[in-house]
Structure 1
Protein backbone atom coordinates (compact mmCIF):
# COMPACT_ATOMS: atom_id res chain seq x y z
CA UNK A 1 0.00 0.00 0.00
CA UNK A 2 2.84 2.37 0.84
CA UNK A 3 4.37 1.85 -2.61
CA UNK A 4 1.05 2.62 -4.36
CA UNK A 5 0.66 5.87 -2.41
CA UNK A 6 4.24 6.78 -3.24
CA UNK A 7 3.64 6.28 -6.96
CA UNK A 8 0.41 8.31 -6.88
CA UNK A 9 2.12 11.19 -5.08
CA UNK A 10 5.00 11.23 -7.57
CA UNK A 11 2.50 11.29 -10.46
CA UNK A 12 0.77 14.24 -8.81
CA UNK A 13 4.09 16.07 -8.54
CA UNK A 14 4.72 15.38 -12.22
CA UNK A 15 1.33 16.86 -13.07
CA UNK A 16 2.25 20.00 -11.13
CA UNK A 17 5.15 20.44 -13.59
CA UNK A 18 3.32 19.31 -16.73
CA UNK A 19 0.23 21.52 -16.32
CA UNK A 20 2.06 24.88 -16.51
CA UNK A 21 4.14 23.54 -19.39
CA UNK A 22 0.96 22.73 -21.32
CA UNK A 23 -0.41 26.17 -20.50
CA UNK A 24 2.79 27.81 -21.72
CA UNK A 25 2.56 25.81 -24.95
CA UNK A 26 -1.07 27.01 -25.24
CA UNK A 27 -2.46 23.46 -25.21
CA UNK A 28 -4.77 24.18 -22.24
CA UNK A 29 -6.40 27.36 -20.96
CA UNK A 30 -5.86 29.06 -17.61
CA UNK A 31 -8.94 27.55 -15.98
CA UNK A 32 -7.81 24.01 -16.84
CA UNK A 33 -4.30 24.79 -15.62
CA UNK A 34 -5.66 25.96 -12.26
CA UNK A 35 -7.89 22.91 -11.97
CA UNK A 36 -5.06 20.47 -12.76
CA UNK A 37 -2.59 22.14 -10.41
CA UNK A 38 -5.08 22.39 -7.55
CA UNK A 39 -6.17 18.78 -7.98
CA UNK A 40 -2.59 17.55 -8.15
CA UNK A 41 -1.67 19.51 -5.02
CA UNK A 42 -4.59 18.05 -3.06
CA UNK A 43 -3.74 14.51 -4.25
CA UNK A 44 -0.08 14.97 -3.32
CA UNK A 45 -0.88 16.17 0.19
CA UNK A 46 -3.47 13.43 0.65
CA UNK A 47 -1.07 10.66 -0.36
CA UNK A 48 2.34 11.89 0.82
CA UNK A 49 1.14 12.11 4.42
CA UNK A 50 0.99 8.32 4.64
CA UNK A 51 4.42 7.42 3.32
CA UNK A 52 6.67 10.39 4.08
CA UNK A 53 8.01 10.77 7.55
CA UNK A 54 10.57 9.68 9.99
CA UNK A 55 11.99 6.20 9.92
CA UNK A 56 11.13 4.10 12.94
CA UNK A 57 14.04 3.46 15.28
CA UNK A 58 14.89 -0.11 16.07
CA UNK A 59 15.64 -1.10 19.59
Structure 2
Protein backbone atom coordinates (compact mmCIF):
# COMPACT_ATOMS: atom_id res chain seq x y z
CA UNK A 1 0.00 0.00 0.00
CA UNK A 2 2.80 2.40 0.91
CA UNK A 3 4.58 1.79 -2.42
CA UNK A 4 1.35 2.47 -4.33
CA UNK A 5 0.96 5.77 -2.50
CA UNK A 6 4.55 6.68 -3.33
CA UNK A 7 3.99 5.85 -7.00
CA UNK A 8 0.86 8.02 -7.14
CA UNK A 9 2.67 10.83 -5.31
CA UNK A 10 5.58 10.81 -7.74
CA UNK A 11 3.16 10.74 -10.66
CA UNK A 12 1.58 13.84 -9.14
CA UNK A 13 4.99 15.52 -8.90
CA UNK A 14 5.71 14.69 -12.54
CA UNK A 15 2.35 16.16 -13.55
CA UNK A 16 3.18 19.29 -11.56
CA UNK A 17 6.73 19.82 -12.82
CA UNK A 18 6.71 18.73 -16.47
CA UNK A 19 3.79 20.80 -17.94
CA UNK A 20 5.49 24.20 -17.48
CA UNK A 21 8.57 22.86 -19.24
CA UNK A 22 6.44 21.52 -22.08
CA UNK A 23 4.60 24.84 -22.30
CA UNK A 24 7.90 26.73 -22.42
CA UNK A 25 9.07 24.49 -25.26
CA UNK A 26 5.78 25.07 -27.09
CA UNK A 27 4.62 21.45 -26.92
CA UNK A 28 1.39 22.10 -24.98
CA UNK A 29 -1.28 24.75 -24.58
CA UNK A 30 -1.81 26.97 -21.56
CA UNK A 31 -5.13 25.32 -20.67
CA UNK A 32 -3.67 21.81 -20.84
CA UNK A 33 -0.74 22.93 -18.67
CA UNK A 34 -3.08 24.35 -16.01
CA UNK A 35 -5.24 21.22 -15.95
CA UNK A 36 -2.23 18.89 -15.72
CA UNK A 37 -0.69 20.92 -12.91
CA UNK A 38 -3.99 20.97 -10.99
CA UNK A 39 -4.37 17.19 -11.29
CA UNK A 40 -0.75 16.71 -10.21
CA UNK A 41 -1.21 18.98 -7.22
CA UNK A 42 -4.31 17.12 -6.07
CA UNK A 43 -2.59 13.73 -6.49
CA UNK A 44 0.45 14.87 -4.52
CA UNK A 45 -1.50 16.52 -1.70
CA UNK A 46 -3.92 13.59 -1.40
CA UNK A 47 -1.28 10.85 -1.18
CA UNK A 48 1.98 12.24 0.20
CA UNK A 49 0.89 12.83 3.81
CA UNK A 50 0.18 9.12 4.23
CA UNK A 51 3.75 8.00 3.64
CA UNK A 52 5.91 10.99 4.59
CA UNK A 53 7.02 11.30 8.25
CA UNK A 54 5.30 8.21 9.54
CA UNK A 55 5.73 7.82 13.29
CA UNK A 56 6.53 4.50 14.91
CA UNK A 57 4.62 3.10 17.86
CA UNK A 58 7.33 4.35 20.24
CA UNK A 59 6.85 7.93 18.96
CA UNK A 60 10.09 8.23 16.96
CA UNK A 61 10.12 9.33 13.34
CA UNK A 62 10.57 6.55 10.81
CA UNK A 63 13.42 7.17 8.39
CA UNK A 64 13.72 5.84 4.86
CA UNK A 65 16.85 3.89 5.81
CA UNK A 66 14.92 1.03 7.48
* TM-score bin, normalised by smaller chain: 0.7 to 0.9
Which structure has greater helix proportion? 1
- Select the structure with the greater relative contact order (CA < 8 A; seq sep ≥ 6): 1
Root mean square deviation of aligned Cα: 1.6
Shift of 1:24: 0.5
Greater Rg over alpha carbons, structure: 2
Measure, in 2, the Cα distance between the counterparts of 1:4 and 1:54: 16
After TM superposition, where is structure 1 displaced by more than 4 Å over at least 4 residues in a row? none
Measure, in 2, the Cα distance between the counterparts of 1:43 and 1:28: 21
Q: Which runs of 5+ in 2 are unaligned?
A: 60-66
Q: Which runs of 5+ in 1 are unaligned?
A: none
The TM-score with structure 1 as length reference comes to 0.85
The TM-score with structure 2 as length reference comes to 0.77
Shift of 1:50: 1.4
Aligned residues: 59
Residue 58 (structure 1) aligns with: 58
